[in-house]
Amino acid sequence: MATCIITGASAGIGRAAAIEVSKLEEFDNIVLISRREDLLIQTKSMMRDSCNIETVVLDVGEIDKIPTVISGIYKNYGSIDCLLNIAGYTDPKFLFETTDDNLRKTFGVNVFAPYVLCRECAKYMKGNNGTSKIINIASTAGSTARPGWSVYAMSKAAIIEMSLTLTEELSSYGIKVYCLSPGRCATELRKKLAPEEDQSKIMQPETVGKEIARMASASEICLDGQNIVIRKKF
Amino acid sequence: MYSFILLSAGKGLRFGRDIPKQYLLLAGKPMIVHTLERADRIDRVKEIIVVCEKEFISLIKSYVDDYRICKKIVFVEGGKTRQESVYNALREASFDNVIVQEAARPLVTVSDFNKLIQCPHLNVSYTYQIPYTVLKKNSNNNISGVLERNELVNIQLPQKFSKDDLLYAHDQALKEGKTFTEDASMVYSYCETPVFCLQGTPYNVKITEYVDLLYGEMLLKEEFVKESN
């Protein structure tokens, strides 16, 4: 009974990934995590209904709650096989306007939460005999510079390095760690970063969702341990 | 079923660090954890007896929690010698057969342990051929004898023994006041059941000096070590 956990599943890339992952035969249980229950239920209604879908309302920035949630999922389903770290946050500001709270919240959701999720899930994944995957969603912002995005860019750079390091640490357990960095993608988060942009002209979340599902599928075994960029060229 | 004796009471003086080498990091995690995790995955091992200094018990308990080691763990205090440490552990062993392994050999894979268990002989040691010439020398630092290389083997841990045989050998050695550096030689000396030599592997490195740690980390990245885990 394979189980996949998806954070940030209420909208954007997380929702698109949830829909695409539900089309795979690999997973019997999919656990959707987000702060917003009404939107999680909407996501659930868009997914293939032949797999068991559970919604968990959680602000992943509250990292002290994560171990209990993950152990609860393990107790319910008997294994954790795939983790999609997609939840993200940004409040882009110039250096002088960036508050301590902004720093803490961005790093809480974008760095500390994925790290703690990796740690807690890997404790269970290591007993799976080499079939588990962790897919972390970074961003091209993590490897390029743009004024006003410093905190977000720092947090995504952290995810890239976290993914590369965990690839090495967890390889002895057969746990594959992926890092996918989307470029401009039509999400709510992107609207905060680039409100002037015409979202109909840029990459859509469904494109990224399909790529995430491909990485999560059992047939993909070669793209882990690298920062994979996905972007639409104009 | 097996009791897994994990020797971790060594002080690692040759390493020249403040803490024994088995608690130093190898590929990012404490050396002893590599073996704890593997022992945890061997079906026929029902308990892990960790032999260590008292002061390290809480540290190892924290590793057991952090790395989610699920098997029963028994802590036994190390003796003054390696032989005494094994003896202390044997007296706590709950099962008829024991595996003896040391924390300083972190590259032994789950598959290696399973091969040892599946070997039909009762008392078995991994051994490896000696690839170089070994000669005897006397106190004047002169060569004093030639050893026949084909008749020699290098003893590698892990080993497995009947608990009764190994206990008997230890009791006899204690009575005679004899000290041995490992257990196959004791069982050979005191028991009728032979000790079978199972072909070892070149990657079963004992981490003794700093350079071994570097070598070990390099080997851990290799697929032949990963795949058989």
Contact B68 A172 (CB under 8 A): no
Neighbouring-strand partners of residue A135: A84, A178
End-to-end Cα, chain A, rounded Å: 42
Looking at the complex, report in whole angstroms how far the Cα of residue A27 sits from the nearest Cα belonging to chain B.
24
Contact B68 A124 (CB under 8 A): yes
Q: In terms of DSSP bridges, do strands B97-102 and B2-7 run parallel, antiparallel, or are they unpaired?
A: parallel
Q: What are the sequence ranges of the domains in chain A?
A: 3-230
Contact of B59 with chain A, judged by CB distance below 8 Å, is answered with no
Per the structure, the complete domain to which residue B219 belongs is given by 2-227
Neighbouring-strand partners of residue A57: A34
Tokens of A131: 């079939």
The pLDDT assigned to B227 comes to 55
Residue spans of alpha helices (H) in chain B? 31-40, 57-66, 82-90, 110-118, 163-176, 183-190, 210-220, 223-227
The pLDDT assigned to A50 comes to 86
Per-residue pLDDT band for B19 (boundaries 50, 70, 90) equals: confident
d(CA A130, CA B7): 28
d(CA B61, CA B77): 14
Contact of A224 with chain B, judged by CB distance below 8 Å, is answered with no
The pLDDT assigned to B96 comes to 97
Per-residue pLDDT band for B18 (boundaries 50, 70, 90) equals: confident
DSSP helix/strand/coil, B46 = strand
A123: nearest CB among B28, B68, B220: B68
d(CA B54, CA B62): 14
Long-range contacts of B151-154 (CB under 8 A, 24+ apart): B153/B127, B153/B128, B153/B129, B153/B197, B154/B127, B154/B128, B154/B129, B154/B130, B154/B200
Looking at the complex, report in whole angstroms how far the Cα of residue B195 sits from the nearest Cα belonging to chain A.
32
End-to-end Cα, chain B, rounded Å: 20
Contact of B65 with chain A, judged by CB distance below 8 Å, is answered with no
Contacts of A124 in chain B (CB under 8 A): 68
CATH number of the domain to which B107 belongs = 3.90.550.10
Instruction: Give the tens place of pLDDT for each residue, B166-208.
Output: 999 999 999 999 999 999 999 999 999 999 999 999 999 999 9
Contact A126 B226 (CB under 8 A): no
Contact A123 B41 (CB under 8 A): no
Task: Specify whether domain A3-230 bears CATH 2.60.40.1120.
Answer: no
The amino acid that residue A18 corresponds to is: A
Contact of A188 with chain B, judged by CB distance below 8 Å, is answered with no
d(CA A104, CA B196): 61
Residues 11-30 of A with CB under 8 A from B: none
Contact of A78 with chain B, judged by CB distance below 8 Å, is answered with no
The pLDDT assigned to B15 comes to 66
Whether the ω angle into residue B202 lies within 30 degrees of 0, i.e. cis, is no
Within 8 A by CB and 6+ apart from B15, the residues are B21, B24, B208, B209, B210
Within 8 A by CB and 6+ apart from B201, the residues are B112, B126, B128, B156
Side by side, the strands of the sheet bearing B97-102 are B72-77, B45-52, B2-7, B97-102, B154-162, B123-128, B195-199
Instruction: Give the tens place of pLDDT for each residue, B99-148.
Output: 999 999 999 999 999 999 999 999 999 999 998 898 999 999 999 999 98
SS3 assignment for A156-187 = HHHHHHHHHHHHHHHHHHCCEEEEEEECCECC
Contact of B110 with chain A, judged by CB distance below 8 Å, is answered with no
Contact B229 A172 (CB under 8 A): yes
Q: Scanning the structure block, which residue is given the tokens 């029902």?
A: B46
Instruction: Give the tens place of pLDDT for each residue, B64-99.
Output: 999 999 999 999 999 999 999 999 999 999 999 999
d(CA A135, CA A224): 9
d(CA A118, CA A124): 10
The pLDDT assigned to B193 comes to 94
pLDDT beneath 50, residues of chain A:
none
Please state the domain count of chain B.
1
Q: Residue A142's closest CA among A162, A112, A166?
A: A162
B117 neighbors B44 (Cβ within 8 angstroms): yes
Contact A126 B37 (CB under 8 A): yes
Contact B226 A171 (CB under 8 A): yes
Contact of B68 with chain A, judged by CB distance below 8 Å, is answered with yes
ipTM of the complex: 0.77
